Structure 1
Amino acid sequence: MIGGTKRQKEMRKALRNLAPRIPMSDAEAILGLALSGHLRHLPPTIALWQAVTSHVRHELTEYDTLLEEGYDRDAARFFVVETMNSILSAWGCNRQIASDGDGL
């Protein structure tokens, strides 16, 4: 994703600032989510945070498995928040998700 629109460039820059050590494969997936239609109206930093948390939750934790096992959404989020924050820290992200769901 070299070049691109102004918004794409803003998103890449914002993602580098948010998570400087993010693996390229995760970065590309997150940028795709952040640039999708339902997040398009949001400022880049907000769209990216929503895309980052969604990607980490669904792709890198057992969140969906917990839902399939019958846990409700809030319980499943509670059980994966530590894993999510560990991943965010490993990516160099200074922002964390509160265990009460703030920041999701």
Structure 2
Amino acid sequence: MQRGGGTKRQKDMRKQLRLMAPRIPFSDSEPVIEAALAGHLRHLPPSIALWQALAARVRHEHTDYDALLEDGYERDAARFFVIDDMNAVLEHWGSARRVTCDADDGV
């Protein structure tokens, strides 16, 4: 996928991601865009698809979430234990939004 190119939805997502997490590294931004463009998120507005993809990227690539699951933790417990690490990454990337334990958080 070429940076800056693509469909209107791809361009909109890149623009929205720059607003959502202005300091996200390119090595993370492209996988987030690709995940947000996945078919199962297509029906969602770009901002929601991006937030879900961004949170998933941070959870799986920048925390011990998967290791906790492998150690036998339940999904919700593992998510609870990585919230602070996730929010630290989001803060570092300039995101104003944070992950919470609320069920309506969407991630």
State the TM bucket, normalised to the shorter chain: over 0.9
Equivalent in 29, 39, 42 of residue 41 of structure 2: 39
Aligned length: 104
Paired letter, 1:39: L
Partner secondary structure for residue 77 of structure 1: helix
1:72 equivalent in structure 2: 74
Moved over 4 A (4+): none
Distance (whole Å) between structure 2 residues aligned to residue 3 and residue 28 of structure 1 = 12
Give TM-score, length-normalised by structure 2.
0.93
Paired letter, 1:29: P
Unaligned stretches of 5+ residues in structure 1: none
Distance (whole Å) between structure 2 residues aligned to residue 5 and residue 26 of structure 1 = 20
1:83 equivalent in structure 2: 85
Q: How far apart are residue 101 of structure 1 and its match? A: 5.2
2:17 equivalent in structure 1: 15
Equivalent in 1, 4, 8 of residue 2 of structure 1: 4
1:29 equivalent in structure 2: 31
Distance (whole Å) between structure 1 residues aligned to residue 34 and residue 64 of structure 2 = 22
Per-residue Cα deviation, 1:35-87 (whole angstroms, up to 9, x for no partner): 11111111000000000001110111110100000000011000000000000
Unaligned stretches of 5+ residues in structure 2: none
Contact 1:85 1:97 (C-alpha < 8 Å) held by counterparts: yes
Paired letter, 1:63: Y
Q: Alpha carbon RMSD of aligned pairs, Å?
A: 1.1
Distance (whole Å) between structure 2 residues aligned to residue 20 and residue 101 of structure 1 = 26
